[in-house]
Amino acid sequence: MIYGLASPAGRLAQTFPRRYEDTPSALTFPGDSREVIYGEDIFVGYRYYDKRGIEPAYPFGYGLGYTKFRIETEKTDFTIQAQEDARISIPIRIQNIGNYAGSEVIQVYAGQKNPHIKKPVRELVGFVKVYLKPGETKEAEILIRGDALRQYDPAHGGWCIDPGEYTLYIGRSSRDFFAQASLHVEGRSIYGIGTHTTINEIARLDFAVACLKEIIPDFEDRLPAFLRDFDGESLGEVYASVMDEYYINSIQGLRKIEEACRKMNEIYMNSL
């Protein structure tokens, strides 16, 4: 590697902070009375820096080499079933535009919009390593399995995949992204349906649209505008924005939406 006969291809498996005070253990280590509190919770490693919005010195997945690459991916939306063995593939086209042979690691991270429980901003769900000679171009695929989207919910005592809207971040590290894509996870939610449900999911459920028409008469007509203006946001957020147009009394409006959600959830849960 010193003479350029081989190109470095390693990637960081941890985050390097700019200073010790930025680390999640700065306030709790070494502890008191021979006790150490591990306060990171689920925000371990790069998840902590993303959650706090702290810029690291070198992010998780970072790495350098002697050559350069041009990477392209299709700008499309993806759908996956909320099942552990479900899978999708993200096509990648990569070209070595440098003067040395080398390899690149393309990484995909997923972040859920409006999760039902505490979750990281995004997590690594797939990657692929591609080796190319100078001037060579290859097609590759990044496989994402349903079980990569699982979360552990203590309230339900197990792992689950939460249906809804996700964003896929495609890049070279946990902070360096060159493309994004939408991912819809399709399936039944153990959390039911209510004000926490995204407007995108509501639009897919005919009975939900029918229930909401009872309190917002022109809901079906306004649905395309709602999807455009509130993409990925919850029904509660949408309703809070338009409630004043239908109800002078906000308490009355809140009761109406809660009543509609109870009705929708009853239909939804009975269909499981």
Mean pLDDT of 73-90: 89
* pLDDT for 272: 54
**HSE-up of residue 140 (Cα within 13 Å, Cβ side):** 23
Strand partners of residue 159: 152
The most confident of the ranges 47-61, 185-199, 231-245 is 47-61
Spatial neighbors of 91 by CB under 8 A, at least 6 apart, are: 73, 74, 139, 140, 141
| Beta carbons of 114 and 164 less than 8 angstroms apart | yes
Q: Is the pLDDT of residue 140 over 60?
A: yes
Laid out side by side, the sheet with 164-171 consists of: 78-81, 177-186, 164-171, 102-112, 123-132
Mean pLDDT of 165-184: 94
* pLDDT for 7: 82
- Tell me the C-alpha distance between 226 and 229, whole Å: 5
Spatial neighbors of 157 by CB under 8 A, at least 6 apart, are: none
Query: Which has the higher per-residue pLDDT, 251 or 34?
Result: 34
Mean pLDDT of 55-60: 97
Mean pLDDT of 143-172: 91
- Tell me the C-alpha distance between 198 and 175, whole Å: 26
- Token output for 23: 């680390």
How many residues does this entry show for the chain? 272
* pLDDT for 217: 79
From 236, 80, 242, select the one nearest 165 (Cα to Cα).
Answer: 80
* pLDDT for 27: 81
pLDDT confidence bin for 131, thresholds 50/70/90: very high
Q: Is the pLDDT of residue 96 over 90?
A: yes
Please give the mean pLDDT across all residues of the chain: 87
Output the DSSP codes for 54-72. Answer: PPPSB-TT----SS-EEEE
- Tell me the C-alpha distance between 147 and 87, whole Å: 9
Q: pLDDT digits over 12-27, tens only? A: 999 999 999 999 888 8
pLDDT confidence bin for 248, thresholds 50/70/90: low
Q: What is the pTM of this model?
A: 0.82
Mean pLDDT of 182-209: 83
Terminus-to-terminus CA distance in the chain, angstroms? 58
- Token output for 262: 């109870």
Q: Is the pLDDT of residue 104 over 90?
A: yes
- Residue 155 host element (H or E): none
- Tell me the C-alpha distance between 260 and 205, whole Å: 14
Neighbours of 60 (CB within 10 A): 22
